[in-house]
Structure 1
Amino acid sequence: HAGSLLQGLQELRSDNLLTDVVLCVSGKEIPCHRNVLAACSEYFRAMYCNGHRESKEHKVTIHEVTPGALQLLVDFVYTSKVTITQDNALKLLEGANFFQIQPVHDACVNFISNNLSDKDCLQMMHVGNVLSCPDLEIRARSYALKEFASVSKTPEFLSSTKSQLIKLISSDDLSATEEVVYTAVMTWINHDTDERNKDMKELMELVRFPFMDKQYFFENVETNEEIRNSCQDIMTEGRRCQLFPREIESPRTRPRQASGLREAVVVIGWINEDENTVGRNSCSITMTSDAEPTSSSWIDVTELPEGFEGDCEYPFPVAVLGTSDILMSDQQDAWLYQLELNSWSKLAQMNLERYHHRLSVLYGKVYAIGGTDRDNTPLSSVEVYDRRQNKWTEGVPLPQPRYCHAVAVLDSSIYVMGGFERENTATMYRFSPGDSQWQSMRDMPGVGEYVTATVLNGDIYLAGVQSSIYCFRPSESGGVWSKVVSGILEDCGMTVLKGKVYIYGGYD
C-alpha cells in the first residue's frame, strides 16, 4: 500500500495534478503538493503549519540551494530514491540540511565520509562544523589525523584556518612524527607570514618536541631564529626533555598514539599472601615505553630482583630514569630495571645505609634524600647518583633530618615535604642544583606521616595530611596550599597519567 501511495503521488506530480505550490529557484519552477513536502521536511512542515507568509502563496522562492539539488530533493520526497555522486554530494547535503530531510542528510554524510581524500578532508571538517554534522566533522578529522603527513602537503592545507590546524596538532591521535608536525606548522605560517607569524608561539606549544629526533631538534629547531625569539620557554623545555627525558610534566611530554609509545602506571610492591592484600610498601610511578597497548586490567611486568629484601613495614623508594628505566633502593643497595631488556641490574652501593628514604630525579641524576640508619636515627644527608659514572656522591644535606617524607620535582627544583623527625613534621623545603642549601617553603596545612606527592599542571598534589589531598602552588613568597578533597588514604601510591592524578593502595 505504501509503495502504491508513493507511486500515485509521483504520478500526480508528473502530470501536474492537484499541485498547490510551485518552488522557484534561479528561474526553475518545480510544482509540488504542500502536504507531501510537509510530511517529509521539517522545514516545510514549519512553513505550512505555523501560519508563515509563504503558506498563503502559490509560488515560494528558494534562495538557499541550487536548482539541481532542489530537484533531487523533491524527487526523493516523491520516490524515496536519490543518486549521490562526487559532483552533487556536498550541494545535496547542504540542501538536505537546510530542508531537514534526514534520510538524504545521513546518506550524504555517509557517502562523503567514505570518499574523503587528502584534498577535501579539511573542507569537510569545516562543512561538518558549519552544518552541525558532528559525524561528518569527526570522520573528516579522523581522516586528516591519520593521513596528516600527506594532507599537510596539499594546497588546501595552506588555506586551512588556525582553529582547524589546532584541532589536528593538539590531538593525541595525530598519526605523524613530531618532525612532520613541526614542518607542517612552519609551512603553514610561512604561507602568510605577515598574518600568521603572531600565531607561532600558540602553535609551537602544541608540537611535542620531547619526542622529536634529538639531532633534528638541535639542527633544525634550535637554529631557527624566529622560534628562538618567540618561543624561548618552549625551546628551553624541549632542550631539557631531549637531554633529561621524563623530568618535566607538560602537555608536550605526553606521547601521541603514532609515536608507538604508551604511558603506563607501574605499581611496585608485593602481595601479603596470608591476608591477600597489597602490602603497604606498594609504590606507583608513570613511565613511557614502546610496549604494545594493553587493556585496562593490571598485568604482571616482572618480579623484584633476586636478593632484594625490601622493607616489610614502609614503602621502598622508586624513581624513573629517562622514560622507562626504574631505579629503586633499600638499605645501601640500588637496583635498575630496564624495560626494553626486561632485566634488573645492581648499581653501585650508596655511601650510607638508608631506610624509609626517598628518591628523586633531576637533570638525569638521582637524589637519595633523608631516611633513617640501622638504629632508626633520622638522617638529613643526601646522596646523588651519576649513572654515567655509576657512583654516589655526597649532596647538600637537609636543614633537618626526616624519613617517610614526600618528594616532588617541579620547575627544576626538588621539594621535600612532611614525614618524621622524632615526631611528625609539617615543614617543606626546596632545592635546585647549584644551591648551597635547601630553601624553606610554606609549611603544609598539617603534619603528615606517610605522605605521598605528585605533580600536575604546575602544582604539587600531596596526600596523607589530615586524610586529605592538598594542592601546593609555589610562589616567591613561599607558595599557597589549598584543600582539594577529603577522605583520602594514607601511605598510598600516587602518580599522574594523561592529565589525571591516580591513587593506589594505602590504608585508612
Structure 2
Amino acid sequence: MDNSQSVDNEQTAEVSKTLDDNETVGKKMVYDYSKIYPAWFLERLQDWRSEGHLVDVTLCAEGKEIPCHRLVLSACSDYFHAMFSGAHNESKKAKIEIGGVDGEALQLLVDFAYTSKVCITTDNVQPLYEAANMLQVGRVEEGCENFLAARLDPETCLVTWALADKVSCTYLSAIARSFALKFFEYVCTTEEFLELPVNFLKTYISKDDLHAEKEERVLEVILLWVGHDLEERQGYLKELLECVRFSHVDQHYLKNIMKTDKVLGAVSGIQELIQDQTVQERCCQIFQGEILIFGGVKDKGEDMMEMNCNMYRLDLHGNLVHSTPLPEPLHDSTGTAACVVKNDVIVTGGRKSPSQAWRYRSSLNSWMKLGSLRRRRYDHGMAVLQGKVYVVGGIRDHRQQFFNQSHVEVTEVYNELTDSWDKVAPLLQAVSCFGISTCCEKIYVFGGQISYRGRTEVQCYNPTLNVWTFATPLPNLMQSINACTFNSRIYLVGGKSVNLDHVLCYDPQEDCYLQMADSIAPWELSSATVCGSEIYITGGMYEDEGCSIGSCKVQCYNVKSDTMIRVKDLPIPLWEHISVTIPKL
C-alpha cells in the first residue's frame, strides 16, 4: 500500500468517526468535519504551492526565492496582511525582496504558514526569532521566546538578553537579565562575556542586583575584559571603573593591585574614584545566606516513597554545601513546621511526635530539645513576630484524619525564659495546611483546609491587641500554600489541588491581591523561603500516569524584577518538606 492510499484510509476512518458525531436538527443533518478539515485544507495548500498552482508572489531573501500565495501569507502574518491589502507597491509585485531577514528563517516561516509546524533549534533560533518578530508571525515568535527561556545558562543568558532587547521583548529580556545577574560568577568566566560590547558590559556590572559576593570580583573581571584586547579597550577602562563600588573593596587588596597592575595604576583620576564613598553596596553583598532543606517525602524508585532523614545546606545558586542527619525523632518529619529566630531554626509538631519542639543551632550544627507544645499538632504553621515564636493551627492527631479531623484553634507563643509555651488568642477559624507569614507587625494566615477542603479565609493576628481579625479573602480556595514576606508585601506560591500557576502578591496596606510572574515548573506541595529580594521555591510533587512524582526543581522568583528563573536542582526529589534561610556562616 502506498502512502497516498494510507492517508486516504486514515481520512476515511476519521470521516466515519466524524459522521458518528454529527447531530440531526429537525429535518436537517449537520455534518461537522472540524476535526479533519484544517489538516486536509493545509495539505491542499501545500500541494498547490509545490505544484505552483495559483501561486501569485515570490519572496526573496539572501538570494533565496520562495514561491507562495498572498492569501496564505496574509492569514499567518500581520506584516504581510498590511503589505498586500494596502496601497503598498509590494501589493502588485510578483517578486518581493525581504531585507534584513535570514533566507533560511524566511523559508521556515513560509513553511509554518502552510503546515502549522516549525522546528526550532539552537542553531536557527536567533535568526528565526528576529524574522518572526519583524514579519509579525506571533506563534513562531512565542515559540522562540519559550525555547530561549527554557535553555538559559551562563553561556546563553547574555546573548539572549541582548537579542530580547533587540526585538523589544521585555519578558524575555527581564528573565535573561535576572539570570545573568544572579549567575555573574559563572557568566564572567565564559567566552561570551569577553566579547561583550562596552555599553552592554557597563549596563551589566552597574546593576544593584549583580550577584558579586565581593566587589573585588567586579574590578577583576573589568581588567580581564580590557586585557582580552588591551590595545582596543584600554580607552574604556576609566568609564568601566566608574561602575565599581570602591568603598566596598578591601583596602589592602586595593593597595596591592594598584601597585602590581600597571594598566590600572596609570588610569587618570583613579585616586578620585577610589575615594568616592557615595555608592551603596550591592543587594547580594548586603544579604548573604544559605538555605536549609529538611524533612518531607522523597522518591525511592518503582513507585516507592520514604521519609527524608537528612538536612541539606544549599548556597544561593542551589549548590550543595553539605548534608547532615536529622535527630531520630525528626526522621518522620512530615507535618512539622519551622521558623528562624536569632539565626537558629525552631521546629515543632509533626505526625510522628505532634508535641515536640526542637532548636537547631546553626553556628554549632547541633540540635537541642525544647519544652513540649501545649497542644498536639501537625500540618500547622509557625511565624516569628517581634522576636517571639508563634505556633498556629494544625490538626491534633493523625490517627483521626480519615474519620474526624480535630483542628487546633489555640495559638501558642514560646517563652524562652521558662522554656514553655503560653496561650494567646485562638484562631477565628481553625485550619491546617495554610500559608503563614508576618508582615507590618502582624501575622497572616492564608487559606488552609478543613476536612480536606480548601479555604479562602485570611486571618490576621495583632499582638498589641491580642486579637485575630479577617482580611480580604483569597481569590480562590487555597491549601498548603507558601507565604513569604518582602518589603511590606506577602507573596503566595505553590499549594495543593489549586489552580495557582503564578505568584500571587498580597498588599496588607491596600488589602488587595496582584497577579505576578508565572511558575515555570510544578510546585504543588513545594516549600518556599525568602533570601534577600528573592524567593526560592524548592521541590514539589506532580502526577504522572496516576503516580505521585517528586520534583527536585528549584525556582527562584526575583521580587524586584518580577521574574522567575530556574537554579540548580535539589540533591533529591522532595515534597512536603521544609525550607528556611539562615545567614551564611
TM range (shorter): 0.3 to 0.5
Of the two, which has the highest radius of gyration? 1
TM-score normalised to structure 1 length: 0.46
**RCO higher in structure (CA 8 A, sep ≥6):** 2
Richer in strand (by share): 2
TM-score normalised to structure 2 length: 0.40
